[in-house]
Amino acid sequence: MTATKGYAALNTNEKLAPWNFERREVGNHDVQIEILYCGVCHTDIHNIKNEWFPGIFPMIPGHEIVGRVVKVGDNAKKFKIGDIVGVGTYVDSCRECEDCKNGHEVFCLQNVQTYNSRDKNGLPTYGGYSNYIVVDEDYTLRISEKLNLAATAPLLCAGVTTYSPLRKWKVGKGHKLGVIGLGGLGHIAVKFGVALGAEVTVFSTSPEKEADAKKIGAHHFIASKDQEQMKSVFHSFDFIIDTVSANHNINPYIEILRTNGVYINVGLPSKPWEISSFSVVVGNKVITGSGHGGLDEAQEMLDFCAENNIVSDIEIIDIKNINEALERLERGDVRYRFVIDMATL
């Protein structure tokens, strides 16, 4: 076993505190990764607070992991010691079902999440707010050393979650794309939308984010609480990607889609939506969702980011300030992702 240090919530809603634990030995197909950076996703808050389902505690959150390979299993072929790699939201799946075979490992019924989950032996998994992790090499991704490594960490979740649906729906030149919520996922969705050639509009509840939105590359900005601004874009968008973490009314956004427009939800607020039947019937609207992405898609996204020089806008934090960072993230006070420098652990 490998002695490991981390920061855990010992129970739901509790503040994170230092917690030592053991990782499994490096198996034949595993790599041991020294974690360099870990992003702080809004999902970490949903999990610590049991907002979706009762969590497994002590919980070490973190599924936006970038690190260096320090040990390689006897039969692991993909990586060598010293390679820079990434780990996203899951670390295993059955590898045999239809979803695994079709590159949708994330939807495999035996998918093992990076934390707040149980591995095939029934043991809890622990995430990236820690100094080491042991992962099967097949669930470990290559990272280009051309990219700023701290700013690359958020790509492992926020990146692939927004890249996957934009590619699936072939969003690109000639399309108007609306991005709802300029947070961790939203600001990366803007960068991808722009890189893919779409005309991108940010819809934000925070008017003070307009200058940032434009700097990131957005062509337009709508303050979503301003009824006049919302009316001005009625019936005009091909695609909308909703990245909002809080419960909100989506009907006004469905109305700004043009005929056959597609509403892609990636946010995970806890309450069900209420959708007006008229808002989807009139204009043949499509409402769809997207969960994370497959391993091949995640690798494609990382390679796309290396080619197009896309990384997250980040604020690097010391792990001892993680509780303050989680509070700030919850009230929307982050530009645009916190990343923990694990050297501070």
Q: 164: number of CA atoms within 13 Å, CB side? A: 26
| Minimum separation from the CB atom of position 317 to Zn ion (A) | 17
Measured in degrees and rounded to the nearest 5, phi and psi for residue 291 equal: -110, 115
Binding to Zn ion by residue 157, rule CB under 5 A?
yes
Task: Give SS3 for 208.
Answer: helix
Task: Give the length of the chain.
Answer: 345
Binding to ligand NAP by residue 50, rule CB under 6 A?
no
Q: According to CB under 6 A, which residues from 128 to 157 bind ligand NAP?
A: 157
- Name which position in 104, 176, 209, 285 contacts ligand NAP (CB under 6 A): 209
Binding to ligand NAP by residue 43, rule CB under 6 A?
yes
Binding to ligand NAP by residue 266, rule CB under 6 A?
yes
Residue bearing tokens 């909308």: 240
Task: Give SS3 for 317.
Answer: strand
Binding to Zn ion by residue 162, rule CB under 5 A?
no
Task: Give SS3 for 5.
Answer: strand
Q: Return the range that interacts with Zn ion (CB under 5 A); candidates 105-113, 152-160, 162-170, 306-314.
A: 152-160
Binding to ligand NAP by residue 55, rule CB under 6 A?
no
Binding to ligand NAP by residue 67, rule CB under 6 A?
no
Dihedral sign from CA coordinates of 281, 285, 289, 295? positive
- Name which position in 114, 117, 130, 161 contacts ligand NAP (CB under 6 A): 161
Q: Return the range that interacts with ligand NAP (CB under 6 A); candidates 37-45, 97-105, 214-222, 230-238.
A: 37-45
Q: How far is CA 45 from CA 16, 52, 59, 75, in A?
A: 11, 10, 11, 37
Binding to ligand NAP by residue 42, rule CB under 6 A?
yes
Beta strand 257-265 with 237-242 is parallel
Binding to ligand NAP by residue 295, rule CB under 6 A?
no
Report the C-alpha gap between 94 and 197 in whole angstroms: 37
Select from 256, 330, 303, 294 the least CA-distant residue to 90.
294
Q: According to CB under 5 A, which residues from 22 to 41 bind Zn ion?
A: 41
User: Which of 128, 261 has the CB closer to Zn ion?
Assistant: 128
152 binds, among Zn ion, ligand NAP, none (CB under 5 to 8 A by kind): none
Dihedral sign from CA coordinates of 9, 10, 15, 18? negative
Binding to Zn ion by residue 43, rule CB under 5 A?
yes
Report the C-alpha gap between 33 and 125 in whole angstroms: 15
- Name which position in 67, 86, 159, 267 contacts ligand NAP (CB under 6 A): 267
Binding to ligand NAP by residue 292, rule CB under 6 A?
yes
User: Which of 56, 223 has the CB closer to ligand NAP?
Assistant: 223
CB 108 within 8 A of CB 97: yes
93 binds, among ligand NAP, Zn ion, none (CB under 5 to 8 A by kind): none
The Cα diameter of the chain in Å comes to: 63
Report the C-alpha gap between 337 and 305 in whole angstroms: 17
Residues within the interface to Zn ion (CB under 5 A): 41, 43, 157
**Site residues (CB under 6 A) for ligand NAP?**
41-43, 46, 157-158, 161, 181-186, 204-206, 209, 243-246, 248, 266-268, 290-292, 329, 332
